[in-house]
Structure 1
Amino acid sequence: MATVLVQQHTLHHSTPPPSPIPSALNVNRRPSPIPNKHIPVCPTGPSTAESAPVESPPIPRSFPEQPSSLLHPPDSFVRISRLPSPTVYAIDGDSLAAALDHAASQPLSDPAQMFPWLHGLHPDNHLQLGFFSSRKRASRRTPRCWRGITVVKLGGDLSRARIKGAVCASEVISPSSRFLMADPPDGFSVRNFHIQTAKLAAMSDIVIYAEDGSSKSELLALAEDFTLAQQAWRMKHDALHERPTYNTFVVTSTFADFEKKHPNLVAIDAKGNSTGQVMDFFQWERSEMCGMSRASEISANVWLGPTPDYLLRPGLCEPTKEDDYDLLIEASDLASIPGPRFLGMVDKQLEEGPQRMEFPSSGSIVLPSGNTREVEDLVNTIRWIYYLANPDEPAEAPDHDADSVMANTEPRRKPRKVFIHCADGYTESSLLAVAYFMFAEGVPAHEAWLRLHCDKKRNFFTYPTDVAFLSHIQPRLLQESPVSHSIDTSSIWDPQWFLKMDGSLPSRILPYLYLGNLHHANNPQLLTELGIKRVLSIGEPVSWSDAQRAEWGPENLMYIDNVQDNGIDPLWEEIDRCLEFIEKGKKDGCATLVHCRVGVSRSASICIAEVMATKGLSFPRAYCFVRARRLNVIIQPHLRFVYELLQWEELQMKKRNVQIKRELEWPSVAREIALLNKPYSRS
């Protein structure tokens, strides 16, 4: 496949980080299919001193003091430490459940107080420091307004007996009983999600628990290590005791007690099974992706969708009635175009039962250089699939003893149900799906793109090489098509919007909401063909002619000019205005394209806010909803945008007259996002 893995906008140097923060994110999970996506570059805004943004005004809300906590002061808890100082306290399951519930109801601290500190300001990282604190050295100071709860599991095996939000001790503390220095010593990034757990553990009460049957002395020893770390951190960062103390607690209840009395806090049970009680980004993204790309019929008896679970995880589940296909064609990077003899063999074996075969994935076939054998085999394969699915028409079957195709006028008795599939249901399989649709429906490439997306409601992703290849072979496909014999292929031409297209369409997030990049936005003819009549530009203006602007009407174009992807500019103040613009189009029956430069940070954040507002989803679920639908590209809202969207979640609860209760806390959200992105990053 022609997928290119693009690094995050981070400057990498040869010096390794001083702490095991990245490797600590090797979470214990069962292997799961990874959607075929890539991390795009997200350019920051101006970085020069002259153009560096001034510190933005805070959200109109002030929390100068720490939020209240049921763990502070700890006077009501029993002291159990062996050391005279500092102290370890005991806590039971009921008290921990109440404390976590209370913490989730406390408003998040003002982002103006938490940023840029949360970005990671290592004292030796002059690039990061120069960008964020060249004008304001006070921004380096550790905030006083944060008080969290970090749950740590003894032993670090998170593949079983995991309480909501629990982490390994190695993610936050060193063997020498010191909190890890999480800030990267070099490079520049506004997406340091992987450092948040360690960074905020030092400003949290620590709660340590163990699996049933674990050593109590080891549990207490680990707790004492954390008390020493808290003491050392306080001496270094709070020598004047300007903030309340943070304490360490040991859970006295058994894990079985949690499973019985507080199942909503159990993410993974004692046997290693996910309970579904706690939001899991991996599982939710997979669920959203499969829902978005679920199998559907694109032409008579030919279906397109994601690879069924029983094929992805052999032995773990059985095929369902919906998986009752005669022929399953998997698009694969390693596959070759099948030849006539192979098709003839599969043709015979279909009489014995369902068969599987492979076909090259999207992006893997380029324009032929003189030798047209690949084109012949491709057309032959598509013709063969068509007559399997449509046996009532005179069929042409492959000659089992030769490379040519001979006519066979004997109709087949039974239509075959054919399923074209790949892991995510929309990437690797798109080349074959579009080519087959062109042949079966007798339409040129550009019309196949539109009909698959608009009429068949399929989201799919192709590459520029696919566009070139399909444009090249479309005369042959249409000449061979059983429904387009009367078409004069010499008169077929590609419209201008198709010639400008790189293969991808804007991502359909909701029926009235599309997410795309600046290239999509600068193709207004394409937008018109998709039914998009409004454009919301976040920080990146479109390059349209005056005539195009006049044709669309100024009321259908909005430009937000004060939000750069630099980790400094707030998005909060623009969310309401953007959503009102989208809502106006929705009421008028018009779809809106929201875009920035790459379509993964600023514009993705607005789409997440819209999904939260209209579907009533929490931020984690809305994030996965949009992520699954941003085809082949990983959305990358930076730290501040994600933090503000968690506050947006609080606001939505207030509007619905619901008590504030975050589904996941900030360190857990950041950790899960880092884990989601880790497989795609080379760092």
Structure 2
Amino acid sequence: MTTVVVQQHHTLRHATPPPPTSIPSTLTVNRRPSPIPNKHLPVCPTGPAPADTSQPSPPTSPTDQPVSLLSPPDRFTRLSQSTCPTVYAIDAHTLSAALDQLSSQPLPDPSQMFPWLHGLHQDNHLQLGFFASRKRSLRRSPKCWRGITVVKLRGDLSKARIKGAISPGEVLAPAPASRFLMADPREGFSVRNFHIQTAKLAAMSDIVVYGEDTASKAELLALAEEFATAQHAYRLQHDPAQERPSYNTFVISTSFSEIEKHYPSLIAVNSKGVFTGQVMDFFQWERLEMCSMSRASEISTNVWLGPTPDHMLRTGACEHPIEESYDLLIEASDLASIPGPRFLAMTDKQLEKGPQRMEFPSSGSLVLPSGHTREIEDFVNTVRWIYYLTHPDEPVEESIPSEDDDIAMVNLRKKARRVFIHCADGYTESSLLAIAYFMFAEGVPAHEAWLRLHCEKKRNFFTYPTDVAFLCHVQERLLQESPECHRVDVTDMWDPNWFLKIDGSLPSRILPYLYLGNLAHANNPELLWKLGIRRVLSIGEPVTWSDEERAKWGPENLMYIDNVQDNGIDPLSLEFDRCLDFIGHGKKDDATLVHCRVGVSRSASICITEVMASQGLSFPRAYCFVRARRLNVIIQPHLRFVYELLQWEELQMKKQGRPVKRELEWPTIAREIALLNKPYSRG
């Protein structure tokens, strides 16, 4: 028997276990385990370093020295008996005030922090050669930084977590070293070393140690003395002339239960391990944004598409309205097989007893053999079966109580079933079945299904090249079987040129008037026109259009931002206002595509800026907003772009007359981004 080959793709991790199901397999499949989630980190080609790298960085002055409520420490009680290391006591009120004061301090100019933040290990000649060349001054730690690093004793951050808290092992070398970790990578090249920021900047921060109520004073003091010793050693090695601020170590004297009671704004996770919502959490916020973006909606009569209910989210965030109860829930899974006729018949009978669950192969998992096979029959048969569940045409006898309490038998049409097609994110694994069903139920070819689901039904979805090939292959059969396809000659059907060019994915709709995409999307102007996009903003990568296309769109609707490479050196913030003006001119009537080469760094940064400006979101929330809507591709603005975006947020606050107050600090933001990306990294 010919088999459908199931191609390996990275499966998206479910926040909750998939519903139990036992679908008997009617075919043999070749499967390999998927080691990492479905989303992927695309490779962003690094542009060349600027030709002129000999310009010295701006000199720092004594006014660059940051101020802190924790310095000088003379007013605090000394806890350590010895002169060195010295540890001080601090209460929760002072910590809260110090963190508030830190969030209002302007970030140093990027030229003072980069390229040092990229990581310039003395043995990493590749990284040094690109960023620093022979200029040793660029390798020195900056004088303008003073942070606050909160460290939790024992390092269990799943509960009793203060805002921004980290574990000791993230920044401190194992005992008995009492030294800060060397975070800079010894080899390789990267402009996205988010994972090293916490350790790099902890050495240039005041350290605040705390523990749960069960922690002893001796344990807290011992850990604090390790940090104080590490601070002293770092200063001797990196600042023997004492040109930079001196940093101190503190122990919180207030119990965690008291902090939790009187300073709730400091608590990210309470003593019971529950997220409080008082502190923005990247993972939780991304899930909320993803759920909001892909919220269940009806794509055809009695058929809904959306995310698997996620009970990890806050109550009500992803729940369906009470009136939306489904008779059949179909989860798209890369571990599923195409159900056969016997299973469908059995499920049909069980629907009389109550709601049922089943699985179906995920998007990107089916590669068709040549010719018509049993598997194609089962695929089409399943789609047809769903249609007749939702469009019953056979009357059945059903008993209902009459007004005098007698039982009357009446002829009724068979009940129309409500079907929910779902997957973890609501758009990836389920797209193959959703599009195939839409083609059948609406009687439209594949390319029209793509457009109508996106434009008319407002669904964001992601498909693979194999899905395009699969659906084009079964298109004629689906339409021949469709009861809605009466006037179309399916034997004379052709796919338009724009559809032949796509790899399955459409540009990502970030806002109704704002799309984010790659160079391939930008070089498919017919597709953009079909989507209602009438303006194109190219960041560092020009489009290759014909003169006729350029004339059709008009030069005023095309903008090219030159000389911005994704190299960790070229600034982007100088172009923010210009780009937002261009987007703003078309937002009332038309949509704008913003693109670079891959659509994850330069163009993503511009989209984040627009979301911050138009939606009034902080940078962390705007980052998650765009990240969730970039669908299966993870946005990757590099370190300098993220730093510039955080600094641009400060500038907008000042322009609006609001006091500067960052929601999260740079080391925390970098750490959260690194943790979000870690499951998708192969390293």
> Taking structure 1 as the reference length, what is the TM-score of the superposition?
0.90
SS in 2 for 1:231: helix
Q: Would the aligned equivalents of 2:8 and 2:365 in 1 still touch at CA under 8 Å?
A: no
Question: How far did 1:548 drift?
Answer: 1.1
Question: How far did 1:3 drift?
Answer: 6.4
**Which residue number in structure 2 is paired with residue 215 of structure 1?**
216
CA distance in 2, matches of 1:62, 1:520: 47
Q: In the alignment, is residue 275 of structure 1 matched against residue 252 of structure 2? A: no
CA distance in 2, matches of 1:348, 1:304: 23
CA distance in 1, matches of 2:149, 2:313: 35
**Which residue number in structure 2 is paired with residue 9 of structure 1?**
none
**Which residue number in structure 2 is paired with residue 201 of structure 1?**
202
CA distance in 2, matches of 1:460, 1:491: 28
Question: How far did 1:500 drift?
Answer: 0.6
Q: Compared with structure 1, are the counterparts of its residues 669 and 173 closer, same or farther at alpha carbon in structure 2 (3 Å cutoff)?
A: same
CA distance in 2, matches of 1:4, 1:573: 39
Question: How far did 1:312 drift?
Answer: 11
**Which residue number in structure 1 is paired with residue 84 of structure 2?**
85
1:383-412 per-residue CA deviation (whole Å, 9 max, x = no partner) reads 1100111114799xxxxxxxxxxxxxx985
Q: Would the aligned equivalents of 2:42 and 2:598 in 1 still touch at CA under 8 Å?
A: yes
**Which residue number in structure 2 is paired with residue 608 of structure 1?**
608
Question: How far did 1:236 drift?
Answer: 0.6
Q: Compared with structure 1, are the counterparts of its residues 64 and 411 closer, same or farther at alpha carbon in structure 2 (3 Å cutoff)?
A: farther
Question: How far did 1:60 drift?
Answer: 14
CA distance in 1, matches of 2:253, 2:622: 36
Equivalences for residues 470-481 of structure 1 within 5 A: 470-481=471-482
Q: In the alignment, is residue 151 of structure 1 matched against residue 150 of structure 2? A: yes
Equivalences for residues 196-345 of structure 1 within 5 A: 196-309=197-310, 321=322, 324-345=325-346
Count of equivalent residues: 639
Q: Compared with structure 1, are the counterparts of its residues 414 and 485 closer, same or farther at alpha carbon in structure 2 (3 Å cutoff)?
A: same
Give 2:294's aligned amino acid: S
Q: Would the aligned equivalents of 1:178 and 1:233 in 2 still touch at CA under 8 Å?
A: yes
SS in 2 for 1:485: coil
Q: Would the aligned equivalents of 1:267 and 1:276 in 2 still touch at CA under 8 Å?
A: yes
Q: Compared with structure 1, are the counterparts of its residues 614 and 320 closer, same or farther at alpha carbon in structure 2 (3 Å cutoff)?
A: closer
CA distance in 2, matches of 1:676, 1:527: 31
Question: How far did 1:80 drift?
Answer: 1.1
**Which residue number in structure 2 is paired with residue 669 of structure 1?**
669
**Which residue number in structure 1 is paired with residue 621 of structure 2?**
621
Give 2:637's aligned amino acid: P
Question: How far did 1:319 drift?
Answer: 8.3
**Which residue number in structure 2 is paired with residue 42 of structure 1?**
44
Q: Would the aligned equivalents of 1:35 and 1:424 in 2 still touch at CA under 8 Å?
A: no
**Which residue number in structure 2 is paired with residue 678 of structure 1?**
678
CA distance in 2, matches of 1:31, 1:221: 40
1:263-311 per-residue CA deviation (whole Å, 9 max, x = no partner) reads 0110011111111110000000000000000000000000000011259
CA distance in 1, matches of 2:62, 2:521: 41
Q: Compared with structure 1, are the counterparts of its residues 197 and 534 closer, same or farther at alpha carbon in structure 2 (3 Å cutoff)?
A: same
CA distance in 2, matches of 1:354, 1:63: 70
**Which residue number in structure 1 is paired with residue 96 of structure 2?**
97
SS in 1 for 2:366: coil
CA distance in 2, matches of 1:636, 1:188: 15
Q: Compared with structure 1, are the counterparts of its residues 563 and 682 closer, same or farther at alpha carbon in structure 2 (3 Å cutoff)?
A: same
**Which residue number in structure 1 is paired with residue 451 of structure 2?**
450
1:237-285 per-residue CA deviation (whole Å, 9 max, x = no partner) reads 1101112210000100011111111101100111111111100000000
Q: Would the aligned equivalents of 1:604 and 1:626 in 2 still touch at CA under 8 Å?
A: yes
CA distance in 2, matches of 1:365, 1:323: 31
CA distance in 2, matches of 1:249, 1:461: 49
SS in 1 for 2:541: coil
CA distance in 1, matches of 2:481, 2:58: 63
**Which residue number in structure 2 is paired with residue 389 of structure 1?**
390
**Which residue number in structure 2 is paired with residue 498 of structure 1?**
499
CA distance in 2, matches of 1:609, 1:45: 22
**Which residue number in structure 1 is paired with residue 3 of structure 2?**
none
1:82-139 per-residue CA deviation (whole Å, 9 max, x = no partner) reads 2222311100000000000000000001100100000000000000000001153321
Q: In the alignment, is residue 129 of structure 1 matched against residue 145 of structure 2? A: no
Question: How far did 1:370 drift?
Answer: 3.2
**Which residue number in structure 2 is paired with residue 182 of structure 1?**
183
CA distance in 1, matches of 2:135, 2:541: 28
SS in 2 for 1:321: coil
Q: Compared with structure 1, are the counterparts of its residues 206 and 339 closer, same or farther at alpha carbon in structure 2 (3 Å cutoff)?
A: same
**Which residue number in structure 1 is paired with residue 599 of structure 2?**
599
Q: In the alignment, is residue 572 of structure 1 matched against residue 573 of structure 2? A: yes
SS in 1 for 2:73: coil
Question: How far did 1:487 drift?
Answer: 1.9
SS in 2 for 1:329: strand
CA distance in 2, matches of 1:299, 1:246: 62
Q: Compared with structure 1, are the counterparts of its residues 431 and 56 closer, same or farther at alpha carbon in structure 2 (3 Å cutoff)?
A: farther
SS in 2 for 1:240: coil
Question: How far did 1:78 drift?
Answer: 0.9
Q: Which runs of 4+ in 1 moved over 6 A?
A: 30-35, 55-63, 317-320
CA distance in 2, matches of 1:571, 1:661: 23
SS in 2 for 1:544: coil
Give 1:619's aligned amino acid: F
CA distance in 2, matches of 1:441, 1:73: 72
Q: Compared with structure 1, are the counterparts of its residues 319 and 616 closer, same or farther at alpha carbon in structure 2 (3 Å cutoff)?
A: closer
Question: How far did 1:488 drift?
Answer: 1.0
CA distance in 2, matches of 1:323, 1:272: 32
CA distance in 1, matches of 2:587, 2:321: 37
CA distance in 2, matches of 1:39, 1:188: 16
CA distance in 1, matches of 2:637, 2:56: 20
Q: Compared with structure 1, are the counterparts of its residues 436 and 394 closer, same or farther at alpha carbon in structure 2 (3 Å cutoff)?
A: farther
**Which residue number in structure 1 is paired with residue 632 of structure 2?**
632
CA distance in 1, matches of 2:509, 2:435: 18
**Which residue number in structure 2 is paired with residue 656 of structure 1?**
656
**Which residue number in structure 2 is paired with residue 12 of structure 1?**
none
Q: Compared with structure 1, are the counterparts of its residues 535 and 59 closer, same or farther at alpha carbon in structure 2 (3 Å cutoff)?
A: farther
Q: Would the aligned equivalents of 1:36 and 1:424 in 2 still touch at CA under 8 Å?
A: no
Question: How far did 1:53 drift?
Answer: 5.5
Equivalences for residues 457-472 of structure 1 within 5 A: 457-472=458-473
Which segments of 5 or more consecutive residues in structure 1 lack a partner in the other structure? 7-29, 396-409
Q: Would the aligned equivalents of 2:60 and 2:143 in 1 still touch at CA under 8 Å?
A: no
Q: In the alignment, is residue 528 of structure 1 matched against residue 529 of structure 2? A: yes
CA distance in 2, matches of 1:645, 1:664: 13
Q: Would the aligned equivalents of 1:59 and 1:110 in 2 still touch at CA under 8 Å?
A: no
CA distance in 2, matches of 1:318, 1:387: 27
Identity among equivalent positions (%) equals: 75
CA distance in 2, matches of 1:412, 1:360: 31
Q: Would the aligned equivalents of 2:90 and 2:253 in 1 still touch at CA under 8 Å?
A: yes
Q: Compared with structure 1, are the counterparts of its residues 608 and 180 closer, same or farther at alpha carbon in structure 2 (3 Å cutoff)?
A: same
SS in 1 for 2:484: coil
**Which residue number in structure 2 is paired with residue 516 of structure 1?**
517
CA distance in 2, matches of 1:109, 1:322: 53
Give 2:329's aligned amino acid: L
Which segments of 5 or more consecutive residues in structure 2 lack a partner in the other structure? 1-5, 19-35, 397-410
> Taking structure 2 as the reference length, what is the TM-score of the superposition?
0.90
Question: How far did 1:493 drift?
Answer: 1.0
SS in 2 for 1:276: coil
Question: How far did 1:628 drift?
Answer: 0.1
